[in-house]
Structure 1
Amino acid sequence: MLDLLWDALLDSLKMLPFLFGAYLLMEWAEHHTGGRLARALSRPGVMGEVGGVVGGALLGIVPQCGFSVAAANLFAARLISPAVLAAVFLATSDEAIPVLLAHPDSLHMLWPLLGMKVLLAVLGGLLTALLFRRARPAEDPHADMCAHCGCEEHGIVRGALHHTVRIFLLLLAVNLALGVTLHFAGEDALATLMLSGSTAQPFVTALVGLIPNCAASVVLTELFVQGGISFGSAVAGLCTGAGLGLVVLFRTNRPMKQNLLLVAWLYAFSVLADVIINMF
């Protein structure tokens, strides 16, 4: 049990720099721009939206899920659009790159996998811009984030630390709960659910990718390397695998309906992408 606690603590500590950086940026935006920055970024022009989506896709492909956590926080504060958030989430690879690097005989699949994820992230982000173009709140985007935290009285650093600690504790609890579950259920039990050779495989792998823990990306990548799932199914699972960014999204963003719609859309897009890939 101590090993599980230690692993959960390490996974959560990796998120701290991203969490603090995101909250510091949000605090600065609130206190020094009077909401102008948030309004400008939430109503970008066509080229601004495209640039944001491409940038989000490139950031998301970086190993670990820190950028998805930061993106979820920035989206909750309305500092980025749904399209940019979707691009980051779809591109997030979590532990896939380190796992592939640990298998020298599978390195030839690294660039095709990353390239496909970036391409899908850009495409998915642009489609999200069309589907969620009206998904912007009328109220102050910082109101919920800063309720009762005393940010205005104590400055932006203390406010950012307050939010960082609160979300860090949530991530630690989630990591520990998932670690205990996987420990007692076993990763082999998860692997048997992948329906090897079945046309339903992409639906299952995309669902597994929604598990907000790096273990999901590890299992999916290992199964892909070992031939247990197809390339398309691996892409589908890793596209929905936004890691702890999903936890932060549901914790910080309102309305909840928007979160559910975004996740449902990302799941549907990932499954469809798998079906298209497997046709070739």
Structure 2
Amino acid sequence: MELILDALLDALIDGVKMLPFLYLAYLLIEWLERHHGERIENALAGGGQWGFLPGALLGCVPQCGFSAVASNLYASRVITPGTLLAVFIATSDEAIPLLAAEPSQWSSLVLLIVCKVIFAIAGGALLDMPLRRVLPRSLYGGYAGSADDVDCHEEHEEHSGIFLAALRHTLEIFAFILVFSFLIGLVFESVGEDVLVSALGSMGIFQPMLTALVGLIPNCAASVLLAQLYVQGAIGFGSLFAGLTAGAGVGLAVLWRVNPSWKQNVFITGLLWAVGAAAGMLLQLVL
């Protein structure tokens, strides 16, 4: 019982400390979504064959539904597969506000965003340029550059003011943080932090392959878990990057729902995992 109480108390203290920063981060996100969301979507849709460039840059903007928008645009043949891949790679879901809420992690956040943009541009360019010539149409997709009817938006209505919406989102993610921090702390206390870190570290350069699989889970809980593991020192930056590169938020779930070609969906999903794992292993060696 004492072990459980200690883990719960530590989770509460750590979570409460980041609440003000977390709220400010989500306040900014709500403002971006409501005042610049349509401009961002239009910039992505108008990128044409070079859409992976705005896709890589705009994918880093912390919007909860941007990857879903990209999936709808791809299924409607408005953007190329490379643009979709660039958006997915650049998306970090809830990790950006979480790392922004920890002042000690701001340098990691900047490095994460820079690396995301670089790998997103590289991945999108490779898919849309050399690979397009060798991939069968059934995998690449039928890019047309336009569509008569595109429903870009998931269920995201503005029922409340910006301050209340940011507070609601903050409390929702705070609940995730509290649960994961408690569970991680409980494991650390019962098994031993050194033992757990050593076990994960024993995977060596292959650790990012595992975190990239975790990242494929189409839920914000995956990015929250990865960010918490990184902040608490259980995984390295390369593994964090692998998981967040493979993680596209709800984008993958929307892709599987709106795009009728299961071959294309499997291809994009597998490619996303491969890029995440490979990039993470590279960063494990370099950093």
Q: Distance in 2 between matches of 1:97 and 1:254?
A: 31
Q: Distance in 2 between matches of 1:261 and 1:246?
A: 12
Q: Could you say if the C-alpha distance between residues 274 and 256 of structure 1 is closer, same or farther in structure 2, counting changes exceeding 3 Å?
A: same
Partner in structure 1 of residue 142 of structure 2: 137
Partner in structure 1 of residue 269 of structure 2: 263
- 1:95-244 equivalences under 5 Å are 95-129=94-128, 130-132=130-132, 134=137, 135-137=140-142, 160=151, 164=154, 188=184, 196-197=200-201, 198-199=203-204, 200-244=206-250
Partner in structure 1 of residue 61 of structure 2: 62
Q: Could you say if the C-alpha distance between residues 111 and 21 of structure 1 is closer, same or farther in structure 2, counting changes exceeding 3 Å?
A: closer
Task: Report the Cα offset of residue 84 of structure 1.
Answer: 0.3
Task: Report the Cα offset of residue 194 of structure 1.
Answer: 11
Q: Could you say if the C-alpha distance between residues 75 and 193 of structure 1 is closer, same or farther in structure 2, counting changes exceeding 3 Å?
A: farther
Moved over 4 A (4+): 163-166, 189-195
Q: Could you say if the C-alpha distance between residues 239 and 164 of structure 1 is closer, same or farther in structure 2, counting changes exceeding 3 Å?
A: closer
Q: Distance in 2 between matches of 1:132 and 1:240?
A: 21
Q: Distance in 1 between matches of 2:258 and 2:249?
A: 15
Partner in structure 2 of residue 277 of structure 1: 283
Matched to 1:118, the amino acid is V
Q: Distance in 1 between matches of 2:198 and 2:34?
A: 34
Matched to 1:136, the amino acid is G
Q: Distance in 1 between matches of 2:82 and 2:64?
A: 18
Task: Report the Cα offset of residue 238 of structure 1.
Answer: 0.4
Q: Distance in 2 between matches of 1:194 and 1:209?
A: 22
Matched to 1:217, the amino acid is S
| Unaligned stretches of 5+ residues in structure 2 | 1-29, 157-174, 189-195
Contact 1:65 1:242 in 2 (8 A): no
SS in 2 for 1:196: helix
Q: Distance in 2 between matches of 1:96 and 1:74?
A: 24
Structure 2 residue 81 is matched with structure 1 residue 82: yes
Contact 1:195 1:201 in 2 (8 A): no
Q: Distance in 2 between matches of 1:75 and 1:194?
A: 42
Task: Report the Cα offset of residue 95 of structure 1.
Answer: 1.1
Task: Report the Cα offset of residue 138 of structure 1.
Answer: 9.0
SS in 1 for 2:66: helix
Q: Distance in 2 between matches of 1:190 and 1:61?
A: 32
Task: Report the Cα offset of residue 131 of structure 1.
Answer: 2.8
Contact 1:194 1:205 in 2 (8 A): no
SS in 2 for 1:279: helix
Q: Distance in 2 between matches of 1:194 and 1:68?
A: 35
Task: Report the Cα offset of residue 72 of structure 1.
Answer: 0.4
* 2:254 alignment partner, one of 248, 255, 258: 248
TM-score normalised by L of structure 2: 0.64
Matched to 1:137, the amino acid is G
Task: Report the Cα offset of residue 223 of structure 1.
Answer: 1.2
Please provide the CA RMSD for this pair.
4.0
